[in-house]
Amino acid sequence: MGKIRVLIVDDSPFSRKVMAGTLDQTVFEVCGFAENGWEAVEKFKLLCPDVVTMDMNLPDMDGLVCSREILSIDSNAKIVMASAMRDDSLISRGYSIGVQAFLQKPIKAPELLDTLRQVCLNNRSNQEWQEKYLQYFISSLQQNLLQMAGLESDVSTSPDSQPKFTARGIAIILGITGKQTGRIILNATEQTAQKLTQRILDGAAVDEEDVLNSIAEVANIIGGHSVSVINNIYRGVELRLTPPGIMCGNSIDIINPKLSSFNVIAETEIGTLNLNIGFAGGK
Amino acid sequence: MDVKLINPFVDAVATVMPQLGFQNVSRGKLAVKDQYVSSQGVTVLIGMTNDVRGNIAYNMSEETARSIASTMMMGMPVDKMDDMAQSAISELVNMVTANAAINFEKQGISVDISPPSLAVGENFKVKVSSTKYLALELLIDSNALELNIGLGQ
């Protein structure tokens, strides 16, 4: 993999030198410098950097205005604000424009490297990471179906080119937070979900509420196991799951415009279970 | 669920909506509920982890979603819930929730948010929490937006 190219936007020669020094001999390479906002916009167009560090106070415009200019050229541009000020209103305005991270000067070297790395994980290496993660979700799905319900499953996997997943019956949604964000959907028809619940509860009579609760818990366990394994293998990703959200309906389009996802279909003797795993970026 | 947990959202809506071109934000009823949220047509689910955990469902009619998306796109007409409109509504939910997360941080409560999942369909229901949740009605210009907040500490 090639180096990650950084454009440094800062009017202070001192700050430019410090940052360039920090990035020297790392996975990053400084592809250019800009001393003011318009130069930053021009260099961005010319150099297409992977990530931009942006000073807040530039001679001709503020760093947020400059960020907005850059994001209007490329809405996927990765921008890290580096500023002596770091107040809440600045951060909130920055995030609403699309700035990815904020650093306060003086910036410590590990902090700069970690932040740029995090921001760039949502960039080109993303697809690669997602494909590595996928195997852990698949094995967790199969293992847990077997352990909890004694179900063997045949699994097929495909990248989902649509941002839309159409759920039929019951869909459990678990959000993923951490260094990579995303979401997991476990979908089954009501009949399949009911049969699965009965198997887990050894054939006991179950009502609708039992079914929803058990499917939510199945999703939680499958997701939790996958994420734990990933966290152990990839130090520092620190993935966390939100509690399950439950959706029920005949046909629900679940849309995540900024995610790229994989669809895992598990065929079992009681019907089909669908696990859709999406991570932000990668497009 | 602690009623105090809704304040960061109320403040977030009041901060973010004017930035997106909305004039008036007012609060309607607040109710404690424990049933499913019936989708009004467009429901966006977003989760939180860390010190506060749970889900928030932003619920609105398709008409409201189109109207909000139109304002966000500088008044461009939005006749159907197309990709642009879906993206605008997802972004709105992301911004409001991210702003609420910053408000939590101010109280020393650390939270992370998941990407939003926008759900569209007829007659579907959503459960945000295994226990009680708070339903907060908001009127944004003439658009009714309902926040269903199921969070725990």
Of the partner residues B45, B50, B86, the one whose CB lies closest to the CB of residue A257: B86
Domain closes at, from A120, A136, A167? A120
Q: Specify whether A144 is located in the same domain as A265.
A: yes
Per DSSP, A255 falls in state E
Give yes or no: residues A104 and A235 share one domain.
no
Class of domain B3-152: alpha beta
Choosing from A120, A141, A159, the residue where a domain stops is A120
Q: Is A237 within 8 Å of chain B by CB?
A: no
User: Closest approach of chain B CAs to the CA of A42, in angstroms?
Assistant: 26
pLDDT at residue A203 is higher than 50? yes
Please state the rounded mean pLDDT for residues A225-236: 83
From chain A residues 138-167, the ones with a CB under 8 A of any chain B CB are 163
Give the C-alpha separation, B88 to B75, whole Å. Answer: 13
Mean pLDDT, rounded, for A41-64: 94
A141 and A114 in a common domain = no
Q: Which positions in chain B touch A177 (Cβ < 8 Å)? A: 47-50, 112-114
The model's pLDDT over A159-195, given as tens digits with 9 standing for 90+, comes to: 887 789 999 999 999 999 988 899 999 999 999 999 9
What pLDDT score does A283 carry? 35
Mean pLDDT of A41-51: 95
* Residue-level pLDDT at A282: 43
The domain limits of chain B are 3-152
Average pLDDT, whole number, for chain B? Answer: 93
Q: Which residues contact A71 (CB under 8 A, 6 or more apart)?
A: A77, A79, A97, A98
Instruction: Indicate whether A107 and A191 sit together in one domain.
Output: no
Give this complex's ipTM. 0.92
Closest partner CB to A92 (pick from B102, B125, B127) = B102
Position B40 pLDDT exceeds 80: yes
User: Scanning every residue of chain B, which has its alpha carbon at the shortest distance from the alpha carbon of A179?
Assistant: B112
Beta carbons of A258 and B46 less than 8 Å apart = no
- Going by C-alpha positions, the residue among B97, B76, B94 that lies closest to residue B85 is B76
Residues A170 and A110 in one domain: no
Environment class of A123 (CB within 10 Å of its CB; exposed 0-12, middle 13-18, buried 19+): middle
Same domain, yes or no: A106 and A147: no
Q: How far is Cα A218 from Cα A203, in angstroms, rounded to an integer?
A: 17
pLDDT digits (tens, 9 = 90+) for B22-39: 999 999 999 999 889 999
Residue A98 has a pLDDT of 84
A95 contact residues in B (CB cutoff 8 A): 95, 98-99, 102
* Domain limits for position A11: 4-120
At residue A106, the pLDDT reads 84
Q: A226 and A153: one domain?
A: yes
Give yes or no: residues A129 and A81 share one domain: no
Residues A129 and A115 in one domain: no
Report whether pLDDT(A54) > 90. yes
User: How many domains are there within chain A?
Assistant: 2
- Cβ separation of B113 and A251 shorter than 8 Å? no
Average pLDDT taken over every residue of chain A: 89
Q: What is the pLDDT of residue B96?
A: 95
Nearest CA-CA distance, residue B103 and chain A, Å: 9
CATH of the domain at A153: 3.40.1550.10
Same domain, A71 and A147: no
CA dist., res. B118 & res. B153, Å (int): 25
User: Looking at residue A22, which CATH number applies to its domain?
Assistant: 3.40.50.2300
- Contact: B90, A256; criterion CB under 8 Å: yes
CA atoms of A115 and A213, how far apart (whole Å): 38
The verdict on a CB contact (< 8 Å) between A254 and B47 is no
Query: Distance of CA B93 to CAs A95, A104, B12, Å?
Result: 13, 27, 10
Interface test with A, best of B13, B107, B114, B127 (most A CBs within 10 A): B114
Q: Which residues of B touch A185 (CB under 8 A)?
A: 117
From chain A residues 85-114, the ones with a CB under 8 A of any chain B CB are 88, 91-93, 95-96
pLDDT tens per residue across span B95-149: 999 999 999 999 999 999 999 999 999 999 999 987 889 999 999 998 999 999 9
Q: How far is A252 from chain B (nearest CA, A)?
A: 5
Question: Which residues in chain B touch residue A243, judged by CB atoms under 8 angstroms apart?
Answer: 47, 53-55, 129-130
Chain B interface residues facing chain A, Cβ-Cβ under 8 Å?
15-16, 19, 36, 39, 43, 45-50, 53-55, 57, 83, 86-87, 90, 95, 98-99, 102, 106, 112-130
Inspect the interface and report whether the beta carbons of A258 and B115 lie closer than 8 Å.
yes
The mean pLDDT value for B89-98 works out to 94
Of the residues A91, A120, A149, the one at which a domain ends? A120
Q: Which stretches of A122-267 are DSSP H helices?
A: 126-149, 190-200, 208-233
A79 and A192 share one domain: no
Which of B95, B99, B117 lies closest to A173 in CB terms? B117
Give the DSSP H or E segment for B143.
strand B143-152
Contacts of B125 in chain A (CB under 8 A): 247-249
Same domain, A57 and A158: no
- Helix/strand/coil for A182: strand
